[in-house]
Amino acid sequence: MSYAGKKRKLDKTRQDRLYFDSYSDVTIHEEMIADHVRTNTYRTAILKNSELIRGKVVLDVGAGTGVLSIFCAQAGAKKVYAVEACSIAEQAVEIVKQNNVEDVVEVRRGTVETVELPEKVEVIVSEWMGYALLHESMLNSVLYARDRWLKAGGLILPSRAELYITPISDPVVEDRLYFWYTVKEQYGVDMSCMSNFARRCIKNSDITVSAVAMEDVLSHPARFAELDLHSVTAEELRTVKGRFTCESFGSAAVNAFCVYFTVTFPCPEKPHSLVLSTSPFKPETHWKQAVLYLDSPVEVVQDTPVSGEVSMFPSEDSSRHICIHVDYTIGEQKRQSKTFSIPDWTYLEIL
């Protein structure tokens, strides 16, 4: 059977349905719960803030299986509204009952934009981060909840997010490209002409989600954006951008940029805070890193300057999908630019 397809723009209702349907399967929840860095950081942050949660009303935005809501109940919350739009909410109800916190945690099926609560809340907790932080655009729902339901001076967990970029050298990609030059020696058939085709396929405009080895990082990471969840607006999320400057560690070939994020949880023991990091220098998470491959590698030596500007914005095809545009200059090279997006096969219209 053969398929032909073309990309089409989906209306927001269908975008949302596809998004929520993707969270109805057990696999994605298994991946998230099994991510010890993610789950344990949230648990630790909630328990460390127990003095601010005890006796308070909490809203869990995008509650999923309800694990964060249960953490809040364990921290002494008076009431937790676990708002979840997809069918996993049915499992959350069972999990809440199994943990004997149904008198505290109330699962409400629906989006936070449509669900009505009987009262304002003092705390909002949400695990809203997507690949490259903003993929899936769930932060907009957290901001809606903040403006609609959070009391003045309320607590938001996490309260701050930061985005970083660094040049990298991915040797695996170069090995894959060189592979086509080795076929003749192995099998007597010259396939070196495949190299250019392979380059176009591999070094395309996709945002590649993969784990970057710390030894492949070529500079100290540069922070290019920071979001304060108490003040950032949905309008400001339409384009998140910032400049970056860094210097290479030594001699290598830059063939990609790596983008990653951190989120910070406030803690009562100020000035201490708790940080969930997706840095290549930290233990791996299910978010891994977002890798942006350049069309051609650029040689650098010690202290070669790498600078530019990163812009992140919603895809024209789906507002839930993120695009990343990078303007960059490496050493004395001419300034270049490239736009990347996360591929989504749900936009292929099968004929």
Tell me which residues are annotated as active site.
127, 136
In our burial notation (b when 16+ CB lie closer than 10 A, e otherwise), range 90-99 reads ebbbebbeeb
- CA 6 from chain centre, in angstroms, equals 27
Choose among 223, 246, 315: nearest CA to 325. Answer: 315
CA distance 96 to 264: 27
The CA distances from residue 125 to 67, 214, 265, 283, 336, in Å, are 11, 31, 10, 23, 40
Strands 252-266 and 289-300: antiparallel
Q: In what order do the strands lie in the sheet with 121-125?
A: 105-109, 79-84, 57-61, 121-125, 150-157
How far is 1 from 114, CA to CA, in rounded Å? Answer: 42
CB atoms within 10 A of CB 115: 18
